[in-house]
A and B are shown apart, each in its own frame.
Chain A
Amino acid sequence: GDSVTQMEGPVTLSEEAFLTINCTYTATGYPSLFWYVQYPGEGLQLLLKATKADDKGSNKGFEATYRKETTSFHLEKGSVQVSDSAVYFCALSDNTNAGKSTFGDGTTLTVKP
Protein backbone atom coordinates (compact mmCIF):
# COMPACT_ATOMS: atom_id res chain seq x y z
CA GLY A 1 0.00 0.00 0.00
CA ASP A 2 0.86 3.66 -0.10
CA SER A 3 3.18 5.05 2.56
CA VAL A 4 4.94 8.28 3.51
CA THR A 5 8.13 8.52 5.52
CA GLN A 6 9.15 11.79 7.11
CA MET A 7 12.28 12.91 8.81
CA GLU A 8 11.92 12.25 12.50
CA GLY A 9 11.74 15.18 14.82
CA PRO A 10 11.72 17.19 16.80
CA VAL A 11 13.67 19.81 14.92
CA THR A 12 14.88 22.90 16.76
CA LEU A 13 16.30 25.85 14.84
CA SER A 14 17.27 29.42 15.53
CA GLU A 15 15.37 32.19 13.81
CA GLU A 16 16.55 32.86 10.23
CA ALA A 17 18.09 29.38 9.90
CA PHE A 18 17.53 27.21 6.83
CA LEU A 19 14.95 24.45 7.14
CA THR A 20 14.75 21.11 5.39
CA ILE A 21 12.27 18.40 6.34
CA ASN A 22 12.73 15.25 4.30
CA CYS A 23 9.79 13.28 2.93
CA THR A 24 9.82 10.18 0.76
CA TYR A 25 6.88 8.17 -0.44
CA THR A 26 5.84 4.82 -1.85
CA ALA A 27 2.79 4.72 -4.07
CA THR A 28 1.31 2.90 -7.00
CA GLY A 29 0.47 5.14 -9.89
CA TYR A 30 0.93 8.86 -9.89
CA PRO A 31 -0.02 10.49 -6.59
CA SER A 32 -0.41 14.15 -5.74
CA LEU A 33 1.81 15.33 -2.89
CA PHE A 34 1.04 17.72 -0.06
CA TRP A 35 2.51 19.39 2.97
CA TYR A 36 0.07 20.19 5.75
CA VAL A 37 0.84 22.25 8.85
CA GLN A 38 -0.72 22.12 12.28
CA TYR A 39 -0.11 25.13 14.48
CA PRO A 40 -0.53 24.73 18.25
CA GLY A 41 -4.19 24.40 19.15
CA GLU A 42 -5.35 24.50 15.52
CA GLY A 43 -6.47 22.03 12.88
CA LEU A 44 -4.54 20.73 9.90
CA GLN A 45 -4.24 23.17 7.04
CA LEU A 46 -2.74 22.82 3.62
CA LEU A 47 0.65 24.49 3.25
CA LEU A 48 1.48 23.58 -0.36
CA LYS A 49 0.94 20.89 -2.96
CA ALA A 50 2.26 19.48 -6.24
CA THR A 51 0.29 17.31 -8.62
CA LYS A 52 2.88 16.03 -11.10
CA ALA A 53 6.58 15.33 -11.44
CA ASP A 54 8.90 18.36 -11.29
CA ASP A 55 6.10 20.62 -10.05
CA LYS A 56 7.16 22.98 -7.29
CA GLY A 57 4.66 23.92 -4.62
CA SER A 58 5.27 27.10 -2.67
CA ASN A 59 3.56 29.15 0.01
CA LYS A 60 4.62 31.51 2.83
CA GLY A 61 8.28 31.10 1.85
CA PHE A 62 8.12 27.30 1.97
CA GLU A 63 8.87 25.23 -1.12
CA ALA A 64 8.83 21.58 -2.11
CA THR A 65 9.53 19.93 -5.47
CA TYR A 66 7.89 16.69 -6.64
CA ARG A 67 10.80 14.38 -7.52
CA LYS A 68 9.55 11.23 -9.17
CA GLU A 69 13.00 9.73 -9.68
CA THR A 70 13.79 9.84 -5.96
CA THR A 71 10.12 9.59 -4.80
CA SER A 72 10.69 12.61 -2.60
CA PHE A 73 8.95 15.86 -1.67
CA HIS A 74 11.30 17.63 0.75
CA LEU A 75 10.08 20.80 2.45
CA GLU A 76 12.46 23.79 2.54
CA LYS A 77 12.45 27.34 3.79
CA GLY A 78 15.36 29.71 3.55
CA SER A 79 14.81 31.64 6.75
CA VAL A 80 12.48 30.36 9.44
CA GLN A 81 10.61 32.52 11.94
CA VAL A 82 9.35 31.83 15.43
CA SER A 83 5.83 31.79 13.98
CA ASP A 84 6.75 28.76 11.84
CA SER A 85 6.85 26.60 14.97
CA ALA A 86 4.32 23.85 14.26
CA VAL A 87 3.94 20.21 13.27
CA TYR A 88 4.45 19.53 9.56
CA PHE A 89 2.88 16.54 7.80
CA CYS A 90 3.80 15.21 4.40
CA ALA A 91 0.95 13.44 2.60
CA LEU A 92 0.02 11.87 -0.69
CA SER A 93 -3.33 11.53 -2.40
CA ASP A 94 -3.78 8.48 -4.51
CA ASN A 95 -5.63 10.20 -7.37
CA THR A 96 -7.79 7.15 -7.92
CA ASN A 97 -11.48 7.38 -7.43
CA ALA A 98 -11.05 7.61 -3.65
CA GLY A 99 -8.62 10.49 -3.41
CA LYS A 100 -7.94 9.61 0.19
CA SER A 101 -4.71 10.82 1.73
CA THR A 102 -1.88 8.91 3.37
CA PHE A 103 0.10 10.91 5.91
CA GLY A 104 3.54 10.74 7.41
CA ASP A 105 3.91 10.83 11.18
CA GLY A 106 4.67 14.53 11.32
CA THR A 107 7.77 16.55 12.21
CA THR A 108 7.65 19.01 15.07
CA LEU A 109 9.54 22.22 14.36
CA THR A 110 10.47 24.64 17.11
CA VAL A 111 12.07 27.94 16.13
CA LYS A 112 13.84 29.86 18.89
CA PRO A 113 14.41 33.62 18.79
Chain B
Amino acid sequence: DTGVSQDPRHKITKRGQNVTFRCDPISEHNRLYWYRQTLGQGPEFLTYFQNEAQLEKSRLLSNRFSAERPKGSFSTLEIQRTEQGDSAMYLCASSLHRDRGNEQFFGPGTRLTVL
Protein backbone atom coordinates (compact mmCIF):
# COMPACT_ATOMS: atom_id res chain seq x y z
CA ASP B 1 0.00 0.00 0.00
CA THR B 2 1.56 3.30 -1.08
CA GLY B 3 -1.04 5.63 0.42
CA VAL B 4 -0.62 8.16 3.21
CA SER B 5 0.06 6.54 6.57
CA GLN B 6 -0.21 7.98 10.05
CA ASP B 7 1.06 6.73 13.35
CA PRO B 8 -0.27 6.12 15.91
CA ARG B 9 -3.90 5.59 14.95
CA HIS B 10 -5.06 6.27 18.47
CA LYS B 11 -3.47 8.16 21.35
CA ILE B 12 -4.83 8.59 24.85
CA THR B 13 -2.93 10.98 27.07
CA LYS B 14 -3.36 12.94 30.24
CA ARG B 15 -3.76 16.68 30.25
CA GLY B 16 -0.42 18.42 30.34
CA GLN B 17 1.52 15.69 28.55
CA ASN B 18 3.25 16.14 25.20
CA VAL B 19 2.31 14.02 22.20
CA THR B 20 3.85 13.58 18.76
CA PHE B 21 2.21 12.22 15.65
CA ARG B 22 3.87 11.07 12.46
CA CYS B 23 2.70 11.24 8.86
CA ASP B 24 4.28 9.48 5.90
CA PRO B 25 2.97 10.96 2.64
CA ILE B 26 2.88 9.41 -0.79
CA SER B 27 6.53 9.38 -1.79
CA GLU B 28 6.51 11.64 -4.83
CA HIS B 29 4.18 14.24 -3.29
CA ASN B 30 5.79 17.59 -2.56
CA ARG B 31 2.98 19.04 -0.43
CA LEU B 32 1.90 17.85 2.98
CA TYR B 33 -1.04 19.21 4.96
CA TRP B 34 -2.24 18.79 8.53
CA TYR B 35 -5.92 19.14 9.41
CA ARG B 36 -7.92 18.71 12.61
CA GLN B 37 -11.40 17.24 12.65
CA THR B 38 -13.80 17.21 15.57
CA LEU B 39 -17.02 15.23 15.77
CA GLY B 40 -19.71 16.47 13.45
CA GLN B 41 -17.44 18.91 11.63
CA GLY B 42 -15.32 18.89 8.55
CA PRO B 43 -11.52 18.97 8.64
CA GLU B 44 -9.97 22.33 9.54
CA PHE B 45 -6.66 23.37 8.04
CA LEU B 46 -3.74 23.63 10.47
CA THR B 47 -0.57 23.94 8.42
CA TYR B 48 1.15 22.84 5.24
CA PHE B 49 4.60 22.16 3.84
CA GLN B 50 6.05 22.40 0.39
CA ASN B 51 8.95 20.01 0.51
CA GLU B 52 10.65 20.82 3.84
CA ALA B 53 9.42 24.42 4.10
CA GLN B 54 6.44 25.21 6.33
CA LEU B 55 4.66 27.86 4.30
CA GLU B 56 1.48 28.60 6.20
CA LYS B 57 0.01 28.10 9.64
CA SER B 58 -3.60 28.61 10.62
CA ARG B 59 -4.63 30.86 13.47
CA LEU B 60 -5.98 27.63 14.99
CA LEU B 61 -2.42 26.49 15.52
CA SER B 62 -1.48 27.78 18.96
CA ASN B 63 2.12 28.05 20.06
CA ARG B 64 1.75 24.66 21.78
CA PHE B 65 1.62 23.06 18.35
CA SER B 66 4.69 22.56 16.18
CA ALA B 67 5.13 20.71 12.94
CA GLU B 68 8.22 19.68 11.03
CA ARG B 69 9.08 18.00 7.77
CA PRO B 70 12.85 17.81 8.09
CA LYS B 71 13.81 16.13 4.84
CA GLY B 72 10.76 16.89 2.80
CA SER B 73 9.42 13.40 3.34
CA PHE B 74 7.65 12.40 6.57
CA SER B 75 6.24 15.01 8.93
CA THR B 76 5.66 15.20 12.67
CA LEU B 77 3.07 17.19 14.58
CA GLU B 78 3.81 17.79 18.25
CA ILE B 79 1.38 19.13 20.80
CA GLN B 80 2.89 20.33 24.05
CA ARG B 81 1.02 20.58 27.34
CA THR B 82 -2.08 18.97 25.90
CA GLU B 83 -5.51 20.28 26.90
CA GLN B 84 -8.88 18.54 26.76
CA GLY B 85 -9.84 20.83 23.89
CA ASP B 86 -7.09 19.25 21.79
CA SER B 87 -9.08 16.00 21.63
CA ALA B 88 -9.80 15.48 17.94
CA MET B 89 -8.86 13.49 14.87
CA TYR B 90 -5.64 14.79 13.33
CA LEU B 91 -5.51 14.20 9.59
CA CYS B 92 -2.55 14.34 7.27
CA ALA B 93 -2.88 14.75 3.52
CA SER B 94 -0.42 14.98 0.68
CA SER B 95 -0.56 16.18 -2.90
CA LEU B 96 1.58 16.71 -5.95
CA HIS B 97 1.30 20.41 -6.59
CA ARG B 98 0.97 21.20 -10.24
CA ASP B 99 -1.86 23.53 -11.05
CA ARG B 100 -5.57 23.72 -10.40
CA GLY B 101 -7.56 21.09 -8.62
CA ASN B 102 -4.72 19.18 -7.01
CA GLU B 103 -6.25 16.21 -5.27
CA GLN B 104 -5.25 15.72 -1.67
CA PHE B 105 -4.81 12.15 -0.49
CA PHE B 106 -5.71 11.67 3.15
CA GLY B 107 -4.30 9.32 5.72
CA PRO B 108 -6.51 7.42 8.19
CA GLY B 109 -5.90 9.97 10.92
CA THR B 110 -4.68 9.88 14.51
CA ARG B 111 -7.43 10.09 17.09
CA LEU B 112 -6.24 11.97 20.17
CA THR B 113 -8.09 11.75 23.47
CA VAL B 114 -6.91 14.01 26.25
CA LEU B 115 -8.17 12.96 29.69
Contact = CB atoms under 8 A, between A and B. Distances in A.
Contact of A103 (B42, B55, B107, B109): B42
A100 B100 contact: no
Contacts, number: 65
A49 B101 contact: yes
Contacts of A102: 45
A51 B101 contact: yes
B61 to A, nearest CB: 12
Interface residues of B, number: 26
Interface string A16-54: 000000000000000010101000001111100111100
A44 B91 contact: yes
Interface string A76-93: 000000000000010101
Contacts of A36: 106
Among A46, A95, A98, find the residue whose CB has the most chain B CB atoms closer than 10 A. Answer: A98
Given A43-B108, A89-B42, A106-B41, A98 B56 contact: yes
Interface string A53-68: 0000000000000000
A15 interface: no
B45 A95 contact: no
A70 interface: no
A19 to B, nearest CB: 19
B103 interface: yes
22 contacts: A32-B100, A32-B101, A34-B103, A42-B108, A43-B4, A43-B91, A49-B103, A51-B101, A52-B100, A89-B43, A93-B101, A93-B102, A97-B55, A98-B55, A98-B56, A99-B48, A100-B33, A101-B45, A101-B93, A102-B45, A103-B43, A105-B42
Given A44-B106, A89-B42, A100-B33, 18 more contacts: A32-B100, A42-B108, A43-B91, A43-B106, A43-B107, A44-B43, A46-B103, A91-B42, A95-B101, A98-B55, A98-B56, A99-B31, A101-B43, A103-B44, A104-B42, A105-B40, A106-B41, A106-B42
Interface of B: 4, 31, 33, 40-45, 48, 55-56, 91, 93, 95, 97, 100-109
